[in-house]
Amino acid sequence: MSTAAIAARYALAQSIARQAGLQALEWFRKRDQLVIESKGLQDMVSAADKDTELYIRAQVLARFADDGFLGEEGGLDHADADYLWVIDPIDGTACFVNGMHAWCLSIAVTYQGKPVIGVVYDPNSDEMFHACAGQGAYVNQQAMRAHSASSITEGVLGVGFSHRVPVSSFVPFLDRVLSNGGMFIRNGSGALMLSYVAAGRLIGYYEPHINSWDCLAAIVLVQEAGGTVNDFLANNGLHDGNPIIAAGAQLYAPLLALIQPT
């Protein structure tokens, strides 16, 4: 793995995220003109998602024509490439189309299957969460650290849910969180809430099934901020998705115990 090659992609990911984010923000401001399509229960897509992904793809391939690309809307190209860009052009589309600010862009880069770059850009707050393996994690130019909590009573958990899993498999976890003095939020964007874990704003995050384009960038953020994340890529998680569990290093085990009680 070339340090220069990684650095070039890290810089490009940040530049593309900002430009694509500003373009998406223009769509957000004229969202009454968007045609919304349904991809399934509580799963929407719009021209803003598609156009933003096409823009990101074009910018990446103009610079690194041999890199692979996995996008939520456009699927997988050049799967055997050493470098793979994993993109969610708008994470939180339901929030986006309904005028809420809880949406973002997520760009990850893997090298030979290992996530090495993560960029999550929130255009509404102009916050860019970014990290490169071995270099720490930052929001804009400020270093991030995951929360030092060791108990769920010391802060707020983020949670996510999709109807790809049974409701009955998730509600007992919420009951255990509340019964043990914890509290949770769900804002509609897994990538953004995971970025908040990296920034120490949330003490942890759990979602029973999430797709790789929604979380891979933020996994790099959390790990580089000193947090702990489950092995999301196990059992073909890149293509099929998996549960995601992320928290500060001291809270990970207690959070896991609430998710998977003995």
Q: Domain extents for the chain?
A: 3-142, 152-259
- Distance, first Cα to last Cα, the chain: 41
Please state the length of the chain. 262
The answer to whether residue 41 scores a pLDDT higher than 50 is: no
Write the pLDDT tens digit of every residue in 138-160: 999 999 999 999 999 999 999 99
Burial group, residue 77, by CB count within 10 angstroms (0-12, 13-18, 19+): middle
* Alpha carbon of residue 52 to chain centroid: 16
The pLDDT of residue 103:
96
Say what percent of the chain tops pLDDT 90: 80
- The pLDDT tens digits for 57-108 are 999 999 999 999 998 777 788 888 999 999 999 999 889 988 999 999 999 9
156 closest CA partner among 199, 122, 100, 94: 199
pLDDT, mean of residues 253-260:
96
Residue ranges with strand state E in the chain: 36-40, 43-46, 68-71, 75-77, 83-91, 104-111, 114-122, 127-132, 137-139, 142-143, 157-159, 184-185, 204-210, 227-229, 242-248
Long-range contacts of 251-254 (CB under 8 A, 24+ apart): 251/147, 251/149, 251/150, 251/151, 251/152, 251/203, 251/204, 252/204, 252/227, 252/228, 254/150, 254/151, 254/152
Unique residue bearing structure tokens 């970025």: 195
Across all residues in the chain, what is the average pLDDT? Answer: 92
pTM beyond cutoff 0.85: yes
pLDDT of residue 1: 61
Dist CA 87 CA 108 (whole Å)? 6
Instruction: Quote the CA–CA distance of 121 and 78 in Å, as a whole number.
Output: 25
Evaluate if residue 38 carries a pLDDT over 60.
no
Which residues are CB-neighbours of 224 under 8 A, at least 6 positions away? 118, 131, 132, 133, 134, 135, 136, 137, 198
Asked if pLDDT for residue 162 goes beyond 90, the answer is: no
pLDDT for res 33: 74
Which overall architecture, per CATH, does domain 3-142 show? Answer: 2-Layer Sandwich (3.30)
> pLDDT digit string (tens) for 207-232?
999 999 999 999 999 999 999 999 99
Q: Kindly report, residue by residue over 122-141, the tens digit of the pLDDT.
A: 999 999 999 999 999 999 99
CATH code linked to domain 152-259: 3.40.190.80
pLDDT reading at 40 higher than 50? no
What pLDDT, on the 0 to 100 scale, is given for residue 47?
75
